[in-house]
Amino acid sequence: MDERLIPINGLIALLRGEGAWPGLLRDRGFRRHQLELPINTPLGDIRADALIYRREPDLIVPCESKSGRNIEEAQARKYIAVDLSWLRRTGAVPPELRKVHDVNVRALFIGREEHRADLETGLRKLGIDAPLLTVGSERVRLSGTSGILGMDDFDVHHEGGLPPGRIPIDHQSSEQDLLEALLPQVVAAQARNDDIVLVESLAERVLPEWPVLAHGARGAFITRISEVLRRLAAGEMRGQFRYEGLAEPHTRGRIVIETTPATRDPRGRTQAWQAQRRHAGSALQRRLEREIAGQLSLDELADQGGLAEE
């Protein structure tokens, strides 16, 4: 998982209560509406990393995820300026609350537990009174909720380690990180003997949070992974698959599988999958020995692809 994305994955874990993480926000009635959601504010536009909400008391919370130690003043003040009227202008109000006239809106800043002191200092120096959620591999803390109906401070130790990677990568991740997520999916398609796979289908498999990702963020992610797939098909995995950009409206491109060890004579499949492993290792600049969290390892792919024992 890209380290920049630990805070947003921590928020999602607290909303879902999975991976030995406590469902502290879920248990308080919070749900996620959308991720990477464009919002207009009186101080300028933002793209909220998450918009969560709860009912009775009704509360909408635009969330700013910070991977580092600093608070960016201009961005932070835009979050603070958001109210229900601006959410309505943007069309960002969750469906359950669209007919409710009196909904409190409060921004939440999210960071890593090891950066808490710096983030607290940053908010204080800017005179910003807003809740701060920090997430870590052993501790999660929410503070600054005084006076916000429906939100309460907590300080909980847990044994869940880093949060599950519901968003392991995004359009800003390095090519190496993108390759580590995409290559197992390409190999999985070969193991299933698929011949055509839509790029959007690969994106959905890589990002479990795809259903709540805003439209613009989906487009940016597909554009980025399409570039990676195009280079991969023209380079280390030439002949394995090709990338096709489609001209039809509302299409996102596809990969066409040209060869797969799954179709080989059983006597040669093991060597073929080993060669496939070397192709993947070259693309990643190291062998894909470790299992990508939440995805199939090459050994598992071999089982599904019917590798013969030699």
Across 272-278, average pLDDT: 52
Residue 292 pLDDT level (bands cut at 50, 70, 90): very low
Contacts 24+ apart (CB under 8 A), 281-290: 282/236, 283/179, 283/183, 283/232, 283/235, 283/236, 283/237, 284/176, 284/179, 284/180, 284/183, 285/176, 288/180, 288/183, 288/184
- Statement: residue 289 has pLDDT above 50: no
Give the model confidence (pLDDT) of 1-44 as tens digits.
788 999 999 999 999 998 889 999 999 999 999 999 999 999 99
H, E, C per residue of 102-113:
CCEECCEEEEEH
What is residue 192's predicted lDDT score, i.e. its pLDDT?
Answer: 86
Two tokens at 56? 């009775």
Give mean pLDDT, residues 136-152: 95
**Residue 268 reports pLDDT greater than 50:** no
pLDDT at 260 > cutoff 90: no
Structure tokens at 261: 């060890």
pLDDT tens figures, 61-93 = 999 999 999 999 999 999 999 999 999 999 999
Structural domain spans, the chain: 3-157, 175-305
Within a 10 A sphere around the Cβ of 147, how many other Cβ atoms? Answer: 8
Q: Please indicate whether residue 285 or residue 120 has the higher confidence score (pLDDT).
A: 120
Output the average pLDDT for the chain: 85
295-308 pLDDT per residue, tens: 444 444 444 333 33
Asked whether the predicted pLDDT for residue 158 surpasses 80, the reply is: yes
Q: Rounded CA gap, 119 and 145, in Å?
A: 16
Higher pLDDT residue, 261 or 201? 201
